Amino acid sequence: MNRQATKTQTHKERSTPPSAHGEPAVWLTGSALITCLALVVVTMFIIASNGLVTLWPRPIERITLRSGEILLGLPMGSEQFTPAEQDSQRIAELVAAGDLEQAGEDGTRTRLRFRLGNRDIGRDAFVWVPEYEIVSRDRPEDAVLVERDEWGIFIGVPEAVIVRTRSTESASSQFNPAGTLSTEFGTGPALREVVGESDGIRTVDSAVRIAQGPAETLETYSEIHGSFAKRRARIRALQKSEIPSVQDKLAAIDWRVRRAQMDTDIKPSRVTVPVWIGVAMSSVGLGAVGVGLLRRKHVTPLIAAVRTLCVLLAIAGAMFAVLERPIARGGVSTERLAEVVAQADAQRQDLRAQGDGLLAEIRTLEAADETVRLEIIDPGLSRFAPAEQSRPDTPMRLSQARRLIQSNTLGFSGRVRLYLTRWWDFLSRPPGESPGDGGVFPVIVGTVVLTLLLTVTVVPLGVVAAIYLREYASQGIVTSAIRIAINNLAGVPSIVYGMFGLGFFCYTLGGYVDAGPGEAAIGGMPWWTLIVTLILVFALAAALSAVGADRGPVKGGNGLWSKVARSVSLWSWLGCAGLAGYLIWTTPYFGGFFAEKLPQQPTFGTRGILWAALTLALLTLPVVIVATEEAISAVPGSMREGSLGCGASRWQTIRRIVLPAAMPGVLTGAILAMARGAGEVAPLMLVGAVNLAPTLPVSGDAPFLHGDRTFMHLGFHIYNLGFQSPDAEAARPLVWTTTLLLVAIVLGLNLFAMHIRSRLPSRGGGI
């Protein structure tokens, strides 16, 4: 009776919430949780608040200083500062003259920050102006902000639209340096200049002002800018897409000819084709035997060893048959080589003619683009925005101004439209020549493709490793050491993974894919000796596995012979795997897939998005393994026992019971790996990320996903914006915007994975 009362009292105490007892741990853990959530919320608020306002249009202010200098700029905030000694003398003079009030008790003053732009005419991108030096501030309606693809923004007053034409006339006629001329864009006063005279013909250049003054200039710009924008888009497409495509085709022809020349030098022996046919047929036969043995329900250790031997030998034979390729490589006759060269010459001629036509089209379009100029004046320096820094006396081309914005006349709806338009440009346009110019579309594509590649790579590897550690491996010292190593890998600096990826993936594995093992294959050892050794070691490992399968006591050894056989069998299998790998790595029958491009143009033997994804997969592998192993261990043992009791094998139990129940935890590991890999920058700097990638890693041409191409990444782009931009101060606000975009992309991928996880049926035991 007392025992029953004690049990009831203990049960009530356990069921009472901890907070009812006033435990300090509850308050401590709750405070820690609230602190963590507050830090996350504050961080996201800072990123969002700074990132969302970057593209919002600001008013243009005209600041008149006491020195008489006039500045046009965008207000960027203010701060209190303590004047230096020289500034204090200036302040004292102004106070004595009655132009400035005495400072407060702390002696601080206010200074304002303005973004001026106009770097191409010598302006500083940002300036601090002490408030006591400002005479007046206003917002002129005729001031415009010019958005350009090069040299950042320009702030000024539109002055004129000028059309430059060239004409000829009789040298005997009277020359009039001024007059009124008509052009296809309009009529206006012209300044004419003689640039040459020959054979009684005078060549005259004319500059016709078809629009003058801010209002007329803006109206004319809006009318004709569309045609010039299309022309510049066509020029850009020719320069960045069509001409490079022709050049790539020419290079491919050169590589094809060189490959044919290399194959001409290969002289296969007379037994090559018969050996290849024999190996191919044997591979098919061994594969059929292995598949037949795999279907047997009752398998003895000897049959298991034999079927494993058949399957592996079939795979090895298939690899030999693929790598040998006696028909595809080697033995190219001189006549066939001459045909290939003749076809290549004809194709080169057609492609060069096509390239010349594209270049001629570019010259025609650029000549038409040069005819119309836009004059935007900086009132403080009385200088206009030049076409190039090397030509300061030439106004910029009208097509260089992507958009003219009268910020001071925009209403709220106009500002919202401009804000959304800027976001669309930022997301859909490629970046410019320097960080901060243009958009981030290739950067987004590179980030998403890399994240998906690393996820597809790391999840299967991590899941298989976790299944082996939890379901198959004996829980002993070796398994514990492996788990410790996996946990330690999670703490290795990411730059170390980058060095490993560069050395192993790019230079070693990529170099092998490009050129093969080279001339020192197998170190002079006959290849057949390695194959014979491999077969003997394999047979020894299979035999020892069959002997070691008897775990009961044997005569005279109390199971000692069985243990020794299993141990030797394990090392034999490891040696067999190493020998097979060495045989494949040093095979003389593989000359590389891209040897004809070396050494001028390595394909996979250099940095690329495939090696970057594999490097990040190694970096995030411990995360997936740990999360998956925890999910598998959370599956109740009764579910395994029930499945095994119904006659299912261990693999069937894992595949149909354990994995579905642990799938939410597996996806949790994938989400964590995705988030970790998407934000890494240090390894990418070594294995594939670049400032400006010429092409995207995905395209509509086969194989659609180009693992050998370099790519752009949002994390690396943030680094470039903040620290590598020539105008880092102007590009720094975009750091917040790009960071917000990176967070949004990672969050979107995570939400997609969470949605998939939530749709999985609950099987119990998952986390």
pLDDT along the chain (767 residues), means of 10: 49 49 72 90 90 90 91 90 84 83 79 88 87 91 89 90 87 82 87 84 88 91 90 90 90 87 64 58 67 62 63 68 55 78 92 94 91 92 87 88 91 92 90 75 92 92 89 80 86 91 90 75 52 62 54 45 63 66 67 82 90 93 91 88 84 87 88 87 90 86 86 90 74 87 88 79 49
Q: What letter represents residue 14's amino acid?
A: R
Same domain, 657 and 750: yes
Same domain, 583 and 611: no
Non-local (6+) Cβ contacts of 556 within 8 A are none
Q: What is the dihedral of CA 687, 688, 690, 696, to 10 degrees?
A: 180
Number of domains in the chain: 4
| Cross-strand bridge partners of residue 670 | none
Rounded to the nearest integer, the mean pLDDT of the chain is 81
Query: Does the residue 632 lie in any domain?
Result: yes
Q: Which domain holds residue 65?
A: 61-139
Question: 183 burial class (0-12, 13-18, 19+ CB within 10 angstroms)?
Answer: middle
Q: What letter represents residue 418's amino acid?
A: L
Q: To 5 degrees, how large is the angle CA 627–CA 631–CA 633?
A: 115
Query: Does the residue 175 lie in any domain?
Result: no
Structure confidence by residue, pLDDT tens digits, 460-518: 999 988 988 888 877 778 788 888 888 888 888 999 999 999 999 999 888 888 887 76
Tell how strand 178-183 and strand 186-198 pair up.
antiparallel
Domain termination residue (choose one: 311, 346, 363) = 363
Query: Does the residue 200 lie in any domain?
Result: no
Tell how strand 144-148 and strand 154-170 pair up.
antiparallel
Name the strand (E) or helix (H) holding 125: none
Query: Does the residue 346 lie in any domain?
Result: yes
Per-residue pLDDT at 20: 46
Same domain, 612 and 499: yes
- For the chain, count helices (H), then strands (E): 22, 15
Same domain, 616 and 736: yes
Same domain, 456 and 502: yes
Query: Does the residue 75 lie in any domain?
Result: yes
Per-residue pLDDT at 271: 46
Structure tokens at 117: 């732009």
Q: Can you tell me the distance from the alpha carbon of 581 to that of 751, in angstroms, rounded to the nearest whole number?
A: 41
Non-local (6+) Cβ contacts of 237 within 8 A are none
Per-residue pLDDT at 12: 47
Q: Can you tell me the distance from the alpha carbon of 628 to that of 459, in angstroms, rounded to the nearest whole number?
A: 9
pTM here is 0.81
CA–CA distances in Å: residue 191 to residues 208, 460, 544:
7, 73, 99
Non-local (6+) Cβ contacts of 214 within 8 A are 142, 144, 157, 158, 159
Q: To 5 degrees, how large is the angle CA 358–CA 363–CA 369?
A: 125
Q: Which of 575, 580, 570 is nearest to 530 (CA)?
A: 580
Per-residue pLDDT at 431: 83
Domain termination residue (choose one: 589, 615, 642) = 589
Q: Which of 742, 744, 738 is nearest to 722 (CA)?
A: 738
Query: Does the residue 298 lie in any domain?
Result: yes
Domain termination residue (choose one: 554, 589, 624) = 589
Per-residue pLDDT at 338: 87
Non-local (6+) Cβ contacts of 619 within 8 A are 494, 497, 676, 677, 680, 683
Query: Does the residue 171 lie in any domain?
Result: no
Name the strand (E) or helix (H) holding 341: helix 334-369
| Cross-strand bridge partners of residue 645 | none
Same domain, 500 and 610: yes
Same domain, 564 and 630: no
Structure tokens at 489: 């890998």
Same domain, 491 and 615: yes
Same domain, 561 and 450: no
Same domain, 461 and 335: no
Asked, as a colleague might, if the bond just before 622 is cis with ω within 30 of 0, I would say no
Query: Does the residue 43 lie in any domain?
Result: no
Per-residue pLDDT at 194: 84
Percent of the chain topping pLDDT 90: 26
Same domain, 752 and 662: yes
Per-residue pLDDT at 554: 40
Same domain, 557 and 536: yes
